[in-house]
Amino acid sequence: MRRTRAISGMIVSVIVSAIVLLSRVQGIVVSTRANDQRAAADLSWWKKAVFYQIYPRSFQDSDGDGVGDLRGIISRLDYLKDLGIDCVWLSPICRSPMKDFGYDCSDGEDIDPIFGNLDDFKDLLDEVHNRSLKLIVDFVPGYTSDQHTWFRKSIKRIGKYTDYYVWDDGKLLPNGTRVPINNWLSLFGGSAWEWNDERQQYYYHVFIKEAPEMNHRNENVEWELKSLLRFWLDLGVDGFRADAVPNMVTVANLSWDEPLSGKDVPLYQDDYVIHVYTQHQPELVPIIKGWYDLLDEYTQQDGRERYMVLETYATHEQRNVLYSQGEANPFNFDLLQMSRPPKPQEINRTIMADYNDILPGKWPNFVLGNHDNTRVSKRNGAPYVDVYNMLLLTLWGTPTTYYGEEIGMLQAEVSWNETRDPWGLNYGPDRYQYVSRDPERSPMQWTDGPQAGFTTGNSTWLPLGVNYTVHNVKIQSEGPGQTSLKLYKQLVAIRRNKAFQEGTFKPLLVTDDVYAYVREFGDQRFLVVLNFGKAATVDLSPNDGQAGTAKAVTPSVVGIAQGDTVQLTSLKLGPGDGLILQLTKDQEIIG
């Protein structure tokens, strides 16, 4: 039951009795120590870690060409160490024609000159490890560049390379015209089949036409991919993020057309069809198991546990198929796919479904942004970036932060003439803004000076974000009062508590505006209160006078600072306000 009262002005106040409201909330205690989970001290390093994704082109430029590079990343490692994160994830740095900015690898065992060379990478890895951090790199198993030596040999039908890729003759129409064998569509738009004059066949591509898909039914391809993993493991990386895993294998019968979706979209747009024959095929399972077996082999050799996370936009059921294979860890993008913006009820449903549907003994993870999705400020509103960071870093499960979210970066405004993303270019000047990923890839905002401190050159490869003069590392580090960056550091530090690493998760309050939950491990008890909507007043105490100690507050909170005692009755929250309160054992939360 909810009690409300009107107050003056535009503020909407909600006074809630926690005792009564729990009957309206999914009042489930999720025991993160169930299924024989070990004590926090014994958890795998990646279960306790905070991951930080760097898009190398956009993090720091060291040579003035306007494009980020490895030496630039090295120069910013002390920032990452001070931030408190545990592991750096690098998007692709392999040698590439850069038709899709590195995902189209022409040599997976070399560094593209725009980023540096292998010696630069070795220095980066040493410097990362010298700071007691870890480093994982992108592994692109589904496709290569059309400039890769494997593809050039496959075109010429040279030996084992003949069937390294998915080739097909297509079909002849009655008028003698040759067309693709099926209606499969590229995720970037248009047919997924491209004709090659030299070989006189079509090849299959999921993304750009310059990135042909490999044939994973060929055991030689699987051997090549494991050899590629060994190359980077031998260099000393701590693991991988595997790209576009669901798309790696199609059905064997290429003549099957995919069913139409019925959506009101252009004929060339990928969701004009339902990808039942080109995604999440059962043959993925043994392939992925082979990768994890290889990582285990290295772990057994030296005791250093390696990690791999799989890029999988998938349902719970599809993720669980992958979870069932040993230590497989599919990314969970459910928080990215909510309404824009979502209400607390949807946030709670999403989180609880993830917790309740995951296979016993498996470990969850969460992300709020990456190089393929709009920034939090765009998706959910700039005033709420901090409260979403507080959510991400206080959930049970491994969090991954996209660079710049710790300072609340806004997206860049990228015109058609400035567009670089092939996905956007494929959709043309009238529709590029619907799909282009350029806005969320703008250069990191270090200072309010020229080029935001990203480069000493006169230009940047993409426009800067519109808020770089206000939201940047220098101002947020050196300025007075609470800032997004200072909050982020506090959140990472607080996450070291066992209550957040492996403690129970109990939703306490869900309204149209406010979401609150308790994390507990032994004597550690924390109450997290997040306002995703309008101003509100809530009652989170079972009796008058109960209080908690503020361990972290978002910059928007007025009148409460870290260390203050906060009364849980009539707690006033403005839009985007968030608090983490530590409760003593005698400060019981009923539920």
Predicted pLDDT of residue 219: 96
Q: What is the per-residue pLDDT across 71-85, written as a single tens digit (0 to 9) for each? A: 999 999 999 999 999
Contact 174, 154 (CB under 8 A): no
pLDDT given for residue 32 in this prediction: 55
9's CB contacts (< 8 A; 6+ apart) are: none
Q: What is the 3-state secondary structure (H, E, C) of 288-317?
A: HHHHHHHHHHHHHHHCCCCEEEECCCCCHH
pLDDT for the residue numbered 323: 79
Quickly state the pLDDT bin for 64 (edges 50, 70, 90): very high
The yes-or-no verdict on residue 446 having pLDDT over 80 is yes
Q: What is the pLDDT of residue 442?
A: 98
What is the per-residue pLDDT for 553? 98
Single-letter residue type at 561 = A
pLDDT of residue 21: 39
Non-local (6+) Cβ contacts of 264 within 8 A are: none
What pLDDT does residue 19 have?
29
Which one is predicted more confidently, 65 or 361? 65
Instruction: Find out whether 205 and 213 touch, Cβ atoms under 8 Å.
Output: yes
- 520 counts as catalytic: no
Q: Is 33 a residue whose pLDDT tops 50?
A: no
Among 224, 243, 438, 520, which one carries the catalytic annotation?
243
| Confidence tier at 28 by pLDDT (50, 70, 90) | low
Tell me whether residue 138 is exposed, middle or buried, using C-beta atoms within 10 angstroms of its C-beta: 0 to 12, 13 to 18, 19 or more: buried
pLDDT in the model for residue 322: 83
CA distance 284 to 245: 8
Q: pLDDT digits over 262-271, tens only?
A: 999 999 999 9
pLDDT at 321: 87
Label residue 584 by pLDDT band (50, 70, 90).
confident
φ/ψ (deg, to 5) at 248 = -70, -30
Catalytic residue among 311, 327, 334, 354: 311
pLDDT grade for 545, boundaries at 50, 70 and 90: low
Closest CA to 344 of 504, 530, 519, 578: 530
Taking only the tens place, the pLDDT of each residue in 208-227 is 999 999 999 999 999 999 99
- One DSSP character per residue, 337-351 reads GS-SSPPHHHHHHHH
**At 470, is the pLDDT very low, low, confident or very high (cuts 50, 70, 90)?**
confident
Query: 0.95 exceeded by the pTM?
Result: no
Whether 213 is catalytic is no
Cα distance between residue 249 and residue 234, in whole Å: 28
Residues in the chain: 591
